[in-house]
């Protein structure tokens, strides 16, 4: 499963009233990274809509000046759906500050679900296998 990497610098306009990274901003970066992973696989961004963001967990905060690094990928495909997963780190830390899944649907020109005709290969690692199993469980 191809992994997409992206990064953001936390700036003043990204902060909340606590002076830490605003949850809405990191959620936006999360959705965007997942969307990019879905588009990279399907190649038709205009036909992909976001259906659901599944249980985002904010484990640690981030501060102004931190570098936020995101790794996203598609972990499960259905007929029209794509389940994506992203992990977000800050600076060089090993433990993620946030992780979660987002589901996208491939639609036709009328906005109705349409087959994307993409099947993922078998998982190549234990991590990929676990992510695929987790993706099957979420609703
Ligand atoms: C929080 C902060 C946000 C910040 C944010 C910032 C944004 C940072 C920028 C990045 C941006 C990127 C994102 C751009 C793209 C839009 O922004 S799209 C705009 C938002 N999304 C929409 O407007 C979509 C509105 N919803 C719909 O139009 C319809 O519900 C849909 C999505 C077309 C689905 O239609 P439907 O008839 O309900 O679909 P249905 O046939 O029942 O199911 C279709 C598939 O979904 C699956 N499915 C149905 N329900 C579920 C479910 N609950 N869970 C999982 N799968 C499900 C089905 O199993 C089926 O899968 P397949 O078997 O075909 O593989």
CB 65 within 8 A of CB 10: yes
Task: Identify the CA nearest to 136 among candidates 120, 114, 116, 125.
Answer: 120
pLDDT in the model for residue 49: 98
pLDDT in the model for residue 64: 98
How far, in Å, from the CA of 52 to the mean position of ligand 1?
A: 6
Residue nearest to atom 29 of ligand 1 (CA): 51
The model's pLDDT over 57-92, given as tens digits with 9 standing for 90+, comes to 899 999 999 999 999 999 999 999 999 999 999 999
Task: Identify the CA nearest to 82 among candidates 36, 126, 124.
Answer: 36
The preferred substitution site among 51, 55, 81 for testing ligand 1, maximizing ligand atoms within 8 Å of CB, is 51
CATH of the domain at 129: 3.10.129.10
Counted domains in the chain: 1
28 lines ligand 1 (CB under 6 A): yes
Its domain, for residue 22, covers 4-137
Confidence of residue 98 (pLDDT cuts 50, 70, 90): very high
pLDDT in the model for residue 1: 81
Beta strands in the chain (DSSP E): 4-9, 48-58, 67-77, 81-90, 98-106
* The pair of three-digit structure tokens given for residue 22, joined into one six-digit string: 């605003």
pLDDT in the model for residue 139: 81
CA geometry: angle at 71 spanning 137 and 60, to 5°?
80
1 lines ligand 1 (CB under 6 A): no
How far, in Å, from the CA of 43 to the mean position of ligand 1?
A: 17
Confidence of residue 55 (pLDDT cuts 50, 70, 90): confident
How far, in Å, from the CA of 94 to the mean position of ligand 1?
A: 31
Interface predicted TM-score of the whole assembly (ipTM), two decimals? 0.89
């Amino acid at each position: 499963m191809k992994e997409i990497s992206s990064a953001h610098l936390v700036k003043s306009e990204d902060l909340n009233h606590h002076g830490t990274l605003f949850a809405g901003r990191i959620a936006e970066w999360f959705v965007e990274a997942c969307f990019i992973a879905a588009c990279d696989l399907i190649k038709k961004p205009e036909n992909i809509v976001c259906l659901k963001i599944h249980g985002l967990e904010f484990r640690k905060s981030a501060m102004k000046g931190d570098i936020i690094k995101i790794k996203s990928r598609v972990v499960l495909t259905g007929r029209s759906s794509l389940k994506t997963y992203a992990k977000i780190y800050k600076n060089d830390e090993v433990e993620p500050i946030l992780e979660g899944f987002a589901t996208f649907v491939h639609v036709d020109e009328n906005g109705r679900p349409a087959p994307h005709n993409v099947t993922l290969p078998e998982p190549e690692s234990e991590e990929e296998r676990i992510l695929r199993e987790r993706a099957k469980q979420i609703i």
